[in-house]
Amino acid sequence: MSILIDKKSRLVVQGITGRDGGFHASKMKAYGTNIVGGTSPGKAGALVDNIPVFNTVRDAVRETEADTSVIFVPAPFAKDAMMEAADAGIRLIVCITEGVPTLDVVEAYSYIRRKGARLIGPNCPGLISPGRSMVGIMPTMIFREGSTGVISRSGTLTYEVVYNLTEHGMGQSTAVGVGGDPVVGLYYKELLEMFENDPETDSIALIGEIGGDAEERAAAYIRDHITKPVAVFIAGQQAPPGKQMGHAGAIISSGSGTAAEKIAAFEAVGVPVAREPSQIPALLKGRR
């Protein structure tokens, strides 16, 4: 079983006629994702890799019963694209676009929640349920079907951890890149709950990084609610205060959000923390 997406998910690609949208739409389609349409204002009736193009998400939903969208539009238009998807009745919105202003995300996320939809991202690689569906820009060749759930703030580290899991015979149920911006949609707590309730997920790999207190809150949630084995890696262990490391949200400010604090929070609740991503498989196997 997977969380959030599967073979039945009906995907619309917002910005499909752009360079990135068209390229990744073809990659997702080749993997087997059920892409039912794309959108690009003024280009209705066109085809991209035999995928029909609609003017609006509402048109796409009406004609195809799409329930999931992935967004590849430029940052200045991402807020409107997210809100358009929610307004059209899309249930899961995945925003790949990076550089979206934080206040735009705050407004869009609030609107999406009011509409009863879910958001992943922005500035994220998306998600994959191996063998079923991939929504985003994940390198599918490293993933294998299995029972380890993966949650990550870092796209690149997701791939490194997944590669090591696969090499050790530990396939994945679903892997989700939540994004590294200061404000994003679904985060550790919600995804941990989904994996806990998924009967075909038997362990969880969580990848965090410096900045904010999301990892500390995840540790508390694991202590109180998660029964399955969890192993963690925290990026940025050598980062100095005030130095942004890659993501907009990965910055130690006023002495808080350090890797040491996050590692201590997980260790205090009995969750093992890897010093290197390659240690994750052994830590999980040791707790199964």
Tokens at residue 107, please? 């407004």
Tokens at residue 158, please? 């997701």
Q: Give strand pairing partners of 38.
A: 13, 53
CA distance 187 to 80: 22
What pLDDT shows up at residue 84?
98
Distances (CA, A) of 160 to 66, 90, 123, 238: 32, 31, 18, 19
Tell whether 153 and 234 lie within a shared domain.
yes
Domain total in the chain? 2
What pLDDT shows up at residue 155?
82
CA distance 171 to 62: 36
Specify if 272 maps to a domain.
yes
Specify if 133 maps to a domain.
no
Residue 111 phi, psi (nearest 5): -65, -45
CA distance 184 to 32: 27
What pLDDT shows up at residue 250?
47
Tell whether 180 and 106 lie within a shared domain.
no
CB 63 within 8 A of CB 44: no
Tell whether 109 and 161 lie within a shared domain.
no
What pLDDT shows up at residue 70?
98
Question: 19 pLDDT band (50/70/90 cuts)?
Answer: very high
Tokens 């990892």 found at:
215
Active site residue 247: yes
CA distance 283 to 205: 10
Tell whether 82 and 36 lie within a shared domain.
yes
Where does the chain have alpha helices with state H?
19-31, 57-64, 75-87, 102-114, 155-167, 188-197, 214-225, 259-268, 280-285
Tell whether 56 and 170 lie within a shared domain.
no
Tell whether 170 and 103 lie within a shared domain.
no
CA distance 135 to 130: 11
- 256 has pLDDT over 90: no
Is the pLDDT higher at 8 or at 243? 8
Which range has the worst mean pLDDT, 30-34, 94-98, 261-265, 269-273? 261-265
Tokens 């080749």 found at:
30
Specify if 132 maps to a domain.
no
Tell whether 218 and 94 lie within a shared domain.
no
What is the DSSP code (8-state) at residue 256? B
**Backbone region of residue 45 per phi and psi (left: phi > 0; alpha: psi in -120 to 50; beta: other values):** left
Q: What number of other Cβ atoms are within 10 A of residue 174's Cβ?
A: 27
Tell whether 181 and 98 lie within a shared domain.
no
Greatest CA separation found in the chain? 57
Specify if 243 maps to a domain.
yes
Tokens at residue 31, please? 């993997």
CATH of the domain at 181: 3.40.50.261
Q: Is 211 strand, coil or helix?
A: coil
CB 113 within 8 A of CB 187: no
Can you give the residue range of the structural domain that contains 212? 139-285
- 1 has pLDDT over 80: no
- 63 has pLDDT over 70: yes
CB 206 within 8 A of CB 262: no
Tell whether 159 and 280 lie within a shared domain.
yes
**Considering the entire predicted model, what is its pTM?**
0.93
Residue 220 phi, psi (nearest 5): -65, -40
Segment 257-285 shows an average pLDDT of 93
Question: 243 pLDDT band (50/70/90 cuts)?
Answer: low
Tell whether 40 and 159 lie within a shared domain.
no
Tell whether 278 and 152 lie within a shared domain.
yes
Distances (CA, A) of 19 to 25, 52, 62, 121, 145: 10, 16, 26, 20, 30
Distances (CA, A) of 260 to 30, 159, 182: 42, 23, 20
CA distance 128 to 54: 25
What average pLDDT does the chain have? 93
Tokens 């990550």 found at:
152
